[in-house]
Amino acid sequence: MTNDDNYYKKIGFMCGLEIHQRIDTDEKLFCSCTTKHEEKDAGATVVRRQRAVAGEVGGIDVSAKFEELRQRSFLYNVFADETCLVDIDEEPPHQLNSDALLVTLSLAHALNMRIVDELQTMRKNVIDGSDPSAFQRSAMVAIDGTIKVNGTEIAVPTLFVEEESSGIAATGQSAVTYDTNRLGIPLIEVDTAPTIPNPAMAKAVALYLGTLLRLTGKAQRGIGSIRQDTNLSIRDGARVEIKGMQELDSMDKFIENEVLRQQKLLEIKALLLKSKARLGSAMDVTHIFADTSAKVVRDQLDKDGTVMAVALHSFKGMLGFEINPDMRLGTEISDYAKMAGVHGIIHSDENMDKYGFTKEEINALKYKLKLAEGDAFIMIAGERASVSEAMELASQRASYAMQGIPKETRTVRDSVQCTTRFMRPLPTGSRMYPETDVRPVAITSEMLALSKKMAPDLDKEMERMHALLKNTALEEQLILSPKLPLFREIVATSHAEPDFVAHTLLQKFTELRRQGVAIDTIRKVRLIELFDAYAKGSVTKQAVGELLVALAKQDNPVSKLAEELSLNKITGSELKALVEHARKELKGAPSKDALRERIMARDRLRIDGNELNALL
């Protein structure tokens, strides 16, 4: 089903990608802080509030207003070398980083785009607090590009250079804490048109764009340094943006599940319309549960909380309707309620005995809500202030089930099942206004010429790789791999054979990762030391694997580890002595094989087989 274009055409499948990649410049996009993002401890924390404001065209952004409803405080961790006054909204931005712009321009060439003549930096309102200024600076660099992936042409209408947001350090009910050292690192955003024909192609396009970005040689590495957000919808459904997919491997599965979710929600809509479903008005039902022993309510009432409930007429069975693996309409409604700080909802398609409610309590509730056969209810318990807000949000979502599918930004709920959850309403277009503190940048012919020279070129890269590697199977694998820049650096500095380096980084790494070795934590300098030691002949090929395991456990110099683990290569006169010793041990005239076996049994990891063969 995955690749059946006809099927996806029939359901009105629309899908586009937004790829974000951090750029490895020395300084941030609008200040001179380092982009290293390595400091662990914040030196200070500032507390801020944010408000919804009107965008350039006058309207207040829906998602911005939604966040304001949550009345949160934002705490920003400040780092000594990686945060400055610009990051925490205490100083106007400096000029746009020219290196970041050049890399973005180079990518524009590779994507066959029309570069703008003058760059205009914009402020894009963000009120989830991830930016202390309440906006992200972003500039459109180029438009109207195309790429060809697996024979299909995909339009790339826009390319941006922008600021990275802060990383979330902690989330509480009334406050969110952000680390501002990540904030302001340059980010490239590439968007495709919503014409990707099926989920498998989405994955292929993401892989292609990710590779081009890496080929700029200026892509930051590490977790979160690249993000592939997907926008999709089906006919009669709604545009939904999925964020936070870390593994490219499961992207298609996430997309398939979102298609399924929209289909199921449309089924629910049809059923609700047919049964003329409607919502009652929410009411305080605390008194009904004053003596309840159902823990979920009892705990809240003991803390002076309240309970509210609402009648959902003709909703019976709909709240428990499965829309994705382990997800029901009730789950969706619950996700909205949670935004107000409650634990979730209780609904009538659930087993009330499980919660510990008595029949009398439920009957009293049904009586109060005037429920008939075929009706359902939602109940929320929690702090007084949160409950009424949560009830409003839950009612809105329940009511929307009769209209269709809300436009949402969603994030990963379960990375194994590949399901998502509501994060916030999809922002509307009215959240943009000019950044007047930064001068527009004229794109000069010098900049165009220089960036053209830097442009990543997939075909040329394939040729180069072909010349470098003997094993052709590794070529494409390496080019598409995030390890490519690491490979290049190791080969350039260590003199180790490229094939061995490629094989180790691709196959050996995967093998060790599967065995649970924390292989990706090994620092680059150690890897260079290791391949250098191998190239210089101080350790054998076989010992490299053992040393990788050791390095994943402790970050020590390779020479020290080899010494400690007795993995230094035995060579020359030392090896000769070993051979002589073995001859004596075996007595008579032992065969070459017997000798080899005897010697290798003891020191397999320390001896180069070819050298030994020559001596026998």
Partner 1 sequence: MYSEELQELFKRKRISIGDSIGVKAEGVDITGELMPRTDVGDADTLVIKLSSGYNIGISKRNIKDVRLVSPAAEKAAITLAPVKKNSKLPTISILHTGGTIASKVDYRTGGVTARFTPQEILEMFPELREMSNIESRLIRNMWSEDMRFAHYNLMADEVEKEIKKGVDGIIITHGTDTMHYSAAALAFMLEDLPVPVILVGAQRSSDRGSTDAAGNLINATYFIANSDFAGVAICMHETSNDSSCLILPATKTRKMHTSRRDAFRPINTTAIARVSYDKKNVSFIAKGYGKRSAAKLKLTHFNEKLKVGLMKTHTNMYASEVAAYGDFDGLVIEGFALGQAPINKVDEFTEEHPRILAAIKELCKKMPVVMASQCIYGRLQMNVYSTARDLQAAGVVGNLDDMTPETTFIKLAWLLSNYKKEEVAKLMTKNLRGEITARSDYGAFLI
Asked if residue 606 binds partner 1 (CB under 8 A), the reply is no
Asked if residue 593 binds partner 1 (CB under 8 A), the reply is no
Asked if residue 137 binds partner 1 (CB under 8 A), the reply is no
Identity at 586, one-letter amino acid code: L
Give the binding range for partner 1 (CB under 8 A) out of 109-117, 199-207, 415-423, 568-576.
Answer: 109-117
Nearer to partner 1, 9 or 51 (CB): 51
Nearer to partner 1, 434 or 572 (CB): 434
Asked if residue 20 binds partner 1 (CB under 8 A), the reply is no
Give the binding range for partner 1 (CB under 8 A) out of 30-38, 140-148, 225-233, 572-580.
Answer: 140-148
CB of 62 to partner 1, least distance (A): 14
Asked if residue 237 binds partner 1 (CB under 8 A), the reply is no
CB atoms within 10 A of CB 120: 14
Measured between alpha carbons, how far is 541 from 358 in angstroms, rounded to an integer?
70
- For residues 393 and 402, the answer to whether their CB atoms sit within 8 Å is no
Asked if residue 41 binds partner 1 (CB under 8 A), the reply is no
Measured between alpha carbons, how far is 131 from 469 in angstroms, rounded to an integer?
45
- For residues 186 and 29, the answer to whether their CB atoms sit within 8 Å is yes
Query: Which member of 151, 429, 516, 588 binds partner 1 (CB under 8 A)?
Result: 429
Asked if residue 431 binds partner 1 (CB under 8 A), the reply is yes
Query: Which member of 34, 62, 92, 611 binds partner 1 (CB under 8 A)?
Result: 92
Burial class of residue 372 in the structure, from the number of CB atoms within 10 Å of its CB (0-12 exposed, 13-18 middle, 19+ buried): exposed
Asked if residue 58 binds partner 1 (CB under 8 A), the reply is yes
CA-CA-CA-CA dihedral for 318, 321, 327, 332, to nearest 10 = -20
| Helix H or strand E segment including 50 | none
Bridge-based pairing of strands 432-434 and 121-125 is antiparallel
Nearer to partner 1, 130 or 225 (CB): 130
Nearer to partner 1, 51 or 592 (CB): 51
Query: Which member of 55, 199, 341, 485 binds partner 1 (CB under 8 A)?
Result: 55
Nearer to partner 1, 51 or 581 (CB): 51
Measured between alpha carbons, how far is 72 from 600 in angstroms, rounded to an integer?
66
Asked if residue 153 binds partner 1 (CB under 8 A), the reply is no
CB of 147 to partner 1, least distance (A): 17
Asked if residue 42 binds partner 1 (CB under 8 A), the reply is no
CB of 85 to partner 1, least distance (A): 7
Measured between alpha carbons, how far is 111 from 116 in angstroms, rounded to an integer?
14
- CA-to-CA separations, 214 to 24, 102, 439, 458, 461, in angstroms, rounded: 11, 15, 29, 11, 11
Residue 27 DSSP code: B
Nearer to partner 1, 317 or 440 (CB): 440
Coil, helix or strand at residue 327? strand
**All residues at 6 or more sequence positions from 199 whose CB lies less than 8 Å from its CB, including other chains:** 2, 15, 251, 252, 253, 255, 256, 259
- Residue found under tokens 């961790």: 77
Nearer to partner 1, 19 or 318 (CB): 19
Query: Which member of 1, 6, 118, 584 binds partner 1 (CB under 8 A)?
Result: 118
Q: How far apart are the first and last CA of the chain?
A: 60
Tokens standing for 246? 């870390």
Give the binding range for partner 1 (CB under 8 A) out of 51-59, 193-201, 222-230, 576-584.
Answer: 51-59
Coil, helix or strand at residue 424? strand
Q: How many residues bind partner 1 (CB under 8 A)?
A: 52
Asked if residue 452 binds partner 1 (CB under 8 A), the reply is no
Asked if residue 440 binds partner 1 (CB under 8 A), the reply is yes
Asked if residue 59 binds partner 1 (CB under 8 A), the reply is no
Half-sphere exposure of 267 (CA within 13 A, CB side): 15
What is the binding site for partner 1 (CB under 8 A)? 46-58, 64, 85, 88-92, 114, 116-120, 122-125, 127, 132-135, 138-140, 143-144, 158, 160, 429-434, 436, 439-440, 442
